[in-house]
Structure 1
Amino acid sequence: LLTTEIIPLCLRIMESGSELSKTVATFILQKILLDDSGLSYICHTYDRFSHVAIILGKMVISLSKEPSARLLKHVVRCYLRLSDNPRAREALRQCLPDQLRDGTFTACLQEDKSTKHWLTMLLKNLDTPTVPVTDPRQVGIAPLAS
């Protein structure tokens, strides 16, 4: 499935389809991301990741003007899953739309406990510092003698 045109097609629909089409396309992207190989595929190159992040960002801006709890749920779930990848998490710290941090969707999420929980988890993932890869010499492991 990953080698087909399904991801670019979903992204095109997410950008310009009707609300129902966007919801279905975002749900499909969410399902792809929930699979480890799908997450790995999308995060494998900067171009793939950035294309997905840009489209999701545009959707958040659009949703801030015309809220849809159903569509927002899938967008947040996509972001949360992307945050499971260390490189994507670093990038999302810089490019996550402010509307997901500033309470813009509080009213929209009032009735949806699962999406509110996912958004809280996403923000927690992005606020938790990544443990840097340590140099073995710094943790008391002696280098191999030559």
Structure 2
Amino acid sequence: MDIGNMAAHFECLRLGALGVIDHLLNEPIDGAAVRFAMDTGVLHYCAKGVEFGCSQSKLHAVSIIESMLRTSEGLQYCCVLADRFFVIDNLLKKLLAYIPTMIVDETCTQIFRLVVSCYAKLSQKSRARDGLRCYMPIMLFNRTFAGLRANDPVADGYVNLLFQNLQLRAMN
């Protein structure tokens, strides 16, 4: 089996696994499913999806993270340790850097919306706010995503909530 074919098989496996986990964490979010995701180290699998996956794998990975952050237990889990927060922040920044390389389509819009939703959720915790202020996702604060924000009022609302929580002025 050649390397290119093997990589395609791994991507299919990654996409399927992340899709199943993402589906488990869909609305209504089950606390047991979130605890299972936390206990099994799902962030590691999300990291692999963001690092090496196709756009759909990246979408599933950020959707999993966002689902975890939507619960108080998941938000606490993601913010209680600085290492965990920085893993998530790093993944979100990689996704922000990836978005401009994409063709603007539904997947691009969904990834952007989920990333800014994650940042807005993280900014609700004081320790995460401190981390976000020190290591700001600069691309959210300049005009890089002005087009996506203008076309998606939900994502724009998340960015504005992030600015508000961080007590920053938006750069328009």
**TM-based fold match above 0.5:** yes
Q: TM-score, normalised by structure 1?
A: 0.82
TM-aligned CA deviation for residue 95 of structure 1? 1.3
Q: Specify the alignment match of 2:147 in structure 1.
A: 107
* Distance in 2 between residues matched to 1:15 and 1:78, nearest whole Å: 18
CA distance, structure 2, for counterparts of residue 120 and residue 38 of structure 1: 23
- Decide which structure has the larger Cα Rg and report it: 1
1:43 paired with 2:83, answer no
1:54 to 80, 90, 96: 90
Q: Is 75-84 or 102-111 further displaced after alignment?
A: 102-111
What is the CA–CA distance in structure 1 between the aligned matches of 2:41 and 2:131, rounded to whole Å?
Answer: 25
Whichever residue aligns with residue 76 of structure 1, its letter is V
Q: Is residue 26–residue 75 contact of structure 1 (8 Å, CA) maintained in 2?
A: yes
Is 1:73 matched up with 2:113? yes
Determine what percentage of the aligned residue pairs are the same residue. 29
1:16-72 Cα deviation digits (max 9, x unpaired): 211111111111110001111111111111111111111111211222343521111
CA distance change for structure 1 residues 117 and 82 in 2, over 3 Å: closer, same or farther?
same
Q: Which moved more, 1:76-85 or 1:5-14?
A: 5-14
Structure 1: state its 5+ residue gaps. Answer: 129-146
Task: Write out the 4+ residue segments of structure 1 that deviate beyond 2 Å after TM superposition.
Answer: 64-67
Would you say the 8 A contact 2:50–2:94 is kept in 1? no
Instruction: Report how many residues are paired.
Output: 128
Structure showing the higher helix proportion among its residues: 2
Task: Tell me if structure 2 keeps the 8 A contact 1:69–1:109.
Answer: no
RMSD of Structure 2 on Structure 1 (CA): 1.3
Using the alignment, how far apart are the partners of 1:21 and 1:95 within structure 2?
A: 26
Does the aligned pair in 2 maintain the 1:80–1:119 contact within 8 Å?
yes
* Unaligned ranges ≥5, structure 2: 1-35
Q: Which amino acid in the other structure matches residue 93 of structure 2?
A: G
